[in-house]
Amino acid sequence: MAEPHDIRALSGLLAAAQRALSAAERAALAEHGLTPGVFRLLDHVYDRPGAAPAAAAAALDVARPTVTAWIITLEALGFLARLDVPTDGRRATLEPTADGCRVVAEARDLIRRRQNRLLASAIDPGEQAALLDVLQRIATAGS
């Protein structure tokens, strides 16, 4: 067991926990043929219909070519529509399709359930609340 002041060990444990939660997310998204990055874009557009690709890239902190590749993937899956701006042929906006909206709702629920199952397999609800409280305080102190 690591000493309470062993920050390197804490960092390693937090990274391992993040990897486990990310694996649960990847497994949930794979059921819809999505990767976490592609889903981040669809999720972003779901919450902000009409977003411009450049604005989405900035909000997600990824390069514009990455967003362009993700848009192509989501269009091919039928989850996203790129609409031309009538007054400016160089600009476009992004809208989730009906199938895209359905997938976002299903994927969010599936990710939540898988990650909750993971947490429940490791710690009881009281410990979960305490852990979230401690992590929130760390995040607040670091901002």
Q: Do residues 101 and 109 lie in contact, with contact meaning Cβ atoms separated by under 8 Å?
A: no
- Looking up tokens 């996203």 gives 80
CA atoms within 13 A on the CB side of 121: 10
Identify any residues that bridge with 80 across adjacent strands, giving them in sequence order.
Answer: 96
Q: What is the pTM of this model?
A: 0.83
Mean pLDDT of 6-22: 89
> Domain 16-142 falls in which CATH fold?
Arc Repressor Mutant, subunit A (1.10.10)
Distance between CA atoms of 94 and 88, rounded to whole angstroms? 15
pLDDT digits (tens, 9 = 90+) for 114-126: 999 998 899 998 8
Q: Which pLDDT belongs to residue 4?
A: 62
Judged against a pLDDT cut of 90, whether residue 6 lies above it is answered with no
Judged against a pLDDT cut of 70, whether residue 17 lies above it is answered with yes
Structure tokens belonging to residue 32: 């819809």
89 compared with 40, residue with greater pLDDT: 40
Kindly state the DSSP code that residue 48 receives in the 8-state scheme: S
Q: Which pLDDT belongs to residue 8?
A: 82
With cut-offs at 50, 70 and 90, classify the pLDDT of residue 1: low
Judged against a pLDDT cut of 90, whether residue 28 lies above it is answered with yes
Average pLDDT over the chain, rounded to an integer: 91
Judged against a pLDDT cut of 80, whether residue 3 lies above it is answered with no
Cα distance from N-terminal residue to C-terminal residue, the chain? 29
Shortest CA distance to 67 belongs to which of 83, 59, 29?
59
Provide the residue ranges of all domains of the chain, joining segments of one domain with +. 16-142
Q: Which pLDDT belongs to residue 57?
A: 97
Distance between CA atoms of 24 and 117, rounded to whole angstroms? 9
Q: Report CA torsion sign: 105, 107, 108, 109.
A: positive
